[in-house]
Amino acid sequence: MRYALISDVHANLPALEAVMRDIAGRAGPSLRSGQALATYHLGDLVGYAPWPDETVELLRRAGVPGVAGNYDSTVATDYAHCGCRYEDPRQEELSHLSYAWTRAHVSPETKEFLGSLPFRIDLRPLGGHAGGPTITLLHGNQVLNTVYVTEDRPDAFLTKMGAGAGAKPGDVVCFGHTHKPWHRAVEGVHFVNTGSVGRPKDGDWRAGYVLLTFDGGSVDVEIVRVEYDLDATMRGIRASDLPHEFADYLRTGGVLA
């Protein structure tokens, strides 16, 4: 059983389209033609780029379920801010501009859809009638979708997170939010950060997602990167009244201050 996990699209429609094409190209012979791999999103569908409605519409049409990121739940509930972390005052200012723009531009239907997303999803590759691994999909951690689970978190933090999520050895706990993909097993529980489709922060501009493959008792985690029409996204940002800095941020894979 294979799953494609996509996170933090952030309204970058060209990046999402490229990732969906890549996923469709990986469908095995057991799947009917035209049917993609089992695909789930891990939230943060909107913010920072000019296609929030189109992003949601594409995922709804493709039948991709998923969980609520902080950007989704804050837009949906008219929260005071997007629940994002800033490294400096300029970043904070840009973040507020993006949040205000997104709230002003999402359709009522998109907002309602974002509000309907569940906080977490549990998958059972072997079925719920028998024992076997559980895949838990979150955005941040098991308590809040605003918690950053970064690669430098100590094993003790992840052990506590796994216990809090109800994970046992062999299970896989997946999350996004930091926009930097990584994978580590601690006491038999796999922790997988699925990175970001539309706004990577690891210095690689390409769209990122994760493939999980369950084969017997083992799980394989593949971090995939896909080139997309970056120029189209940069043009789209510059043609909108979003801060133009967001275009350069994408080009550098988030290393530009």
Query: Which residues of this chain interact with Fe ion, rule CB under 5 A?
Result: 8, 44
CA atoms within 13 A on the CB side of 101: 22
Q: Which is nearer to Fe ion, 74 or 134 (CB)?
A: 74
Output the smallest distance, CB 27 to Fe ion, in A: 27
Pairing status of strand 2-6 against strand 38-41? parallel
Q: Which is nearer to Fe ion, 49 or 230 (CB)?
A: 49
Q: Which amino acid is at 172?
A: V
Q: Which is nearer to Fe ion, 44 or 53 (CB)?
A: 44
Q: Are 60 and 24 in contact (CB under 8 A)?
A: no
Output the smallest distance, CB 75 to Fe ion, in A: 12
Going across the sheet that includes 135-137, the strands are 121-123, 135-137, 172-175, 189-193, 182-186
Output the smallest distance, CB 214 to Fe ion, in A: 27
Q: Are 67 and 121 in contact (CB under 8 A)?
A: yes
Output the smallest distance, CB 109 to Fe ion, in A: 22
Q: Which residue is nearest to Fe ion (CB)?
A: 44
Q: Which is nearer to Fe ion, 13 or 219 (CB)?
A: 13
Q: Which is nearer to Fe ion, 44 or 202 (CB)?
A: 44
Output the smallest distance, CB 177 to Fe ion, in A: 6
φ, ψ for residue 5 (rounded to 5)?
-115, 120
What are the Cα distances from residue 109, in Å, to 54, 80, 114, 238, 249? 12, 21, 9, 26, 29
